[in-house]
Amino acid sequence: MHSSLLRQIDQVVKVNHHDPFQILGFHLTQESAGLVRCFQPTALKVFLLTDGESREMYKIREEGLFEIILPGCAGLFPYRFEAHYQDGTRHTLHDPYRFPPQLSDYDRYLFNNGTHYRLYDKMGAHLTTIDGIDGTVFRVWAPNARRVSVLGNFNCWDGRLHQMRSLGASGIWELFLPEVGQGESYKFEIRTSHDTILEKADPYQFFSEIRPKSASVVWDIANFSWSDEQWMARRRQQSSYRQPLAIYEVHLGSWRRDPRDPSRFLSYREIAATLVSYVREMGFTHIELLPLAEHPLDESWGYQVTGFYAVTSRFGPPEDFAYLVNECHRQGIGVILDWVPSHFPTDGHGLSGFDGTALYEHQDPRKGLHQEWGTLVFNYHRPEVANFIIANALFWLERYHIDGLRVDAVASMLYLDYARREGEWVPNEHGGRENIEAIEFIKHLNSMVYDQHPDIMMIAEESTSFFGVSKPANWGGLGFGYKWNMGWMNDTLSYFSTDPLFRKYHHGSLTFSLLYAFSENFMLPLSHDEVVHGKGSLLSRMPGDNWQRFANLRLLFFFLWTHPGKKLLFMGGEFGQISEWHCKVSLDWHLIEEDEKHRKLQQFVRALNHFYRQTPALWEDDFSPTGFQWLDFNDVDHSIISFARYGQNRDDFVVCLLNFTPQVHHNYRLGVPKAGKYRELFSSDAGGVGGSGVVNLEPLTSINEPHGQASDHILVKVPPLGGTIWGWEG
């Protein structure tokens, strides 16, 4: 044998070859003979099976390399191996090394260029049939690895048996494994340039073992039959900006547990049987799910992702998650998914140091380490990494029909010094703190997503005053459709936690949000972040006696639903959860059965939602000053504000009055924008929802005298810690 051939054989038997196809499989010799080699280190003997004929192969290396020469062979032909083992067992095997590369040069080019937006159709593990043989083709990106193998039960987790082929400069490794099918667990074994052996889960896995196990699972996610055509067609015809959006934020693991076994998660299908009908009955338009991509730690709530393309196995297989989404759509409920492209954890089986180098993250910890969370920051400048994330966004939208992505921790992506002290970060090329690479990535992400799916929502959880978060990228913005209004949330909750006696000194916290309310397309969130980490529940933060606490909470929700912007409420808030949210236990549903106050609060939120959805003035013009008019924001001493909300038609309006003290007022002057009769349409103080019953039963005729910023006014009864909505009757 030539020295180069011997060297390559050494590399194969020492499991250190970047292209074992050069040695293994079928080869034509210069003597017009066929040569077949296989590496079976645990076999005593190997036979080549062809057309019913069995020929014993020669063991040319003690490590388990077998070879046979077939004179007069014109070309590749069908064959199999029969391996005999020391325990007397025999296995018949197809040879994975007789199949040519399956990934096209064009696919490789697009990936390395960062523009393969259907990457999930190529990378990872895909069930396929080649030359009539069923199996799975595996692909993984590990450009700095010396060798990559597929591990699984099918090879006793022995990295010697299924060494992959490097597809050149693309950095992709590939291997087709015949007869490996649905449900097989696998990992990639990576030999680094420093001869360290790593075992990694598949970054593109569609399914995973249940934690604490961490292997990937071969799975076909295209076998679910969708029946949400009407929803998808309607979504394409409507703009969410001109529609009511009342979002119910849910953590699936703790919304409801099995009452017979509180430690057990309900499955996707079990949740679908109860959650969807509950949300529909409560009048919410959408469910927003805390992250459901695979994650190892329950306490991370899903925000530390190890399987970006895998729906978590905690609640069942992928088709059951598809069933949940499909059921939402069939019942008229949209689905928004919390999505985390900002960072990933350091778990050994995940993306961290994937091929022995900083592949998905930055090598410099001043760029690549998120010190506050102990996680790693994506290297957005690397085309393959950006491609991985953008394709992932499209994956959830296309494969699971998701209606929107709420993008987590955008501020941490925008600023190089986020949660870092002096000396712990590196300025950009202009000496500034903005992360130019991340900003360009976000623009690219939003441009591609909206180009492919203009009818979905990209929602930024962004807590700073960064310009143009929800403005189009070609206008100089980031290109999101919506931005969470964290300022409104903080100011409002701070105000409501103040004793009503002192609220007049904090009046600006109520009115300040209207100075910038139309600078972005805002969503107003009362999210999970506000009921954790010692903050207590929403109800527990309300001051006063028990009646006042519930009245304050109703008024808080009233303010949320009447303020310009789309709405979001975390689960449990709607019935006044008392305890702080904990991801390990169910919500306290027993409160509704045991205490009328909680039940009536739930009824109030239901009534508020349905009234909101039936009142276009509260949602048709959320993002323009033309949809809002102050009527009076100067009644500081009484802590009362009033404003009008308008639909697209200026004659379609409602008047809102909010009293933030327990004082009842009679014959209170409420400014109205137009002369005529007004009727009270909705009150947070109605007796049926737990209020004191201070309501205005009869229509009132306006008095032609200006009040506040209004041309006319009516004289009304003002309920304690209550809000009322008035409609014009002409």
Annotated catalytic residues are 408, 461
Q: Are 689 and 547 in contact (CB under 8 A)?
A: no
C-alpha dihedral sign at 100, 102, 105, 111 = negative
CA distances in angstroms from 558 to 150, 324, 564, 688, listed in the order given: 57, 30, 12, 16
Beta bridge partners of 668: 716
| One-letter identity of residue 575 | F
The packing angle between helices 486-496 and 546-562, to 10°, is 160
Distance CA 126, CA 220 (A): 7
CA distances in angstroms from 498 to 218, 617, 718, 724, listed in the order given: 54, 30, 21, 22
Helix (H, G, I), strand (E, B) or coil at 600: helix
**Cis peptide bond N-terminal to 673, omega within 30:** no
Give the start-end residues of each E strand in 340-413: 343-344, 369-370, 375-377, 404-407
Helix (H, G, I), strand (E, B) or coil at 320: helix
Beta bridge partners of 412: none
Beta bridge partners of 43: 85
For residue 544, count CB atoms less than 10 angstroms from its CB and return exposed for 0-12, middle for 13-18, buried for 19 or more. Answer: middle
Tokens 């990378």 -> residue: 123
Distance CA 325, CA 96 (A): 38
| One-letter identity of residue 716 | V
Helix (H, G, I), strand (E, B) or coil at 536: coil
Distance CA 723, CA 271 (A): 34
Distance CA 27, CA 24 (A): 8
Distance CA 254, CA 581 (A): 9
Q: Are 321 and 337 in contact (CB under 8 A)?
A: no
Return contacts of 368-371, CB within 8 angstroms, 24+ apart.
370/343, 370/412, 370/419, 371/419, 371/420, 371/424
HEC sequence for 626-662: HHEEEEEEEECCCCEEEEEEECCCCCCEEEEEEECCC
| One-letter identity of residue 511 | T
For residue 715, count CB atoms less than 10 angstroms from its CB and return exposed for 0-12, middle for 13-18, buried for 19 or more. Answer: middle
Distance CA 130, CA 137 (A): 10
Return contacts of 292-295, CB within 8 angstroms, 24+ apart.
292/252, 292/321, 292/337, 292/338, 293/339, 293/340, 294/205, 294/208, 295/345
How many other CB atoms are found less than 10 A from the CB of residue 107?
20
- What are the tokens at 383? 């085309």
CA distances in angstroms from 408 to 291, 458, 534, listed in the order given: 9, 11, 21
Pair type for strands 640-646 and 628-635: antiparallel
- What are the tokens at 517? 């309310």
Distance CA 238, CA 225 (A): 25
Q: Are 494 and 513 in contact (CB under 8 A)?
A: no
| One-letter identity of residue 484 | W
Q: What is the Cβ-side half-sphere exposure of residue 472, based on CA atoms within 13 angstroms? A: 5
